[in-house]
Amino acid sequence: MAAGFAPPKLKDFILTQRLGSGTYATVYKAFRKTDSREAVAVKVVSKKSLNKSSVENLLTEIEILKTVRHPHIVQLKDFQWDSENIYLILEWCSGGDLSRFIRSRRILPERVARRCLQQIACALQFLHEKNISHLDLKPQNILLSGNVLKLADFGFAQYMSPWDEQQALRGSPLYMAPEIVCRRYYDARVDLWSVGVILYEALFGRAPFASRSFTELEEKIRSEKHIELPSGARVSRDCRDLLLRLLERDPDRRITFDEFFLHPFVDLEHMPSAESLGKAKALVLQALQKDQDGERSAALSLYCSALEHFVPAIHYETDRQKKEALRQKVNQYVSRAEELKALVRSDNKNSFEEAKSTRNILIEMSRDQPRLLAALEVASTAVAREEGGAEDYDTLDLYQQSLGELLLALAGKSTPKQQLSNHPEQNCKHLVTT
Give the residue numbers annotated as catalytic, written as ranges: 136
Residue 245 · residue 254 · CB < 8 Å: yes
- CA separation (Å) from 203 to 57, 175, 195, 234? 32, 15, 12, 10
Q: How do the residues of the chain divide into helix, strand and coil, expressed in percent and rounded to 5? A: 55, 15, 35
What is the C-alpha separation between 349 and 386, in angstroms, rounded? 11
Angle at 367 between CA 364 and CA 372, to 5 degrees: 100
What is the C-alpha separation between 260 and 200, in angstroms, rounded? 15
- CA separation (Å) from 238 to 97, 266, 318? 26, 9, 29
What is the C-alpha separation between 248 and 255, in angstroms, rounded? 8
**Close Cβ partners of 184 (under 8 Å, ≥ 6 residues apart):** 167
Check the CA dihedral 314-317-321-326 and report its sign: negative
Residue 405 · residue 375 · CB < 8 Å: yes
Q: 228: which strand partners?
A: none
Check the CA dihedral 27-28-29-34 and report its sign: negative
What is the C-alpha separation between 87 and 77, in angstroms, rounded? 11
Check the CA dihedral 392-395-398-403 and report its sign: negative
Residue 287 · residue 302 · CB < 8 Å: yes
What is the C-alpha separation between 284 and 186, in angstroms, rounded? 46
Task: Print the SS3 string covering 72-122.
Answer: CECCEEEEEECCCEEEEEEECCCCCEHHHHHHHHCCCCHHHHHHHHHHHHH
**Is 323 a known ligand-binding residue?**
no
Burial of 245 (0-12, 13-18, 19+ CB in 10 A): middle
What residue numbers does the annotated binding site for ATP cover?
43
What residue numbers does the annotated binding site cover?
43
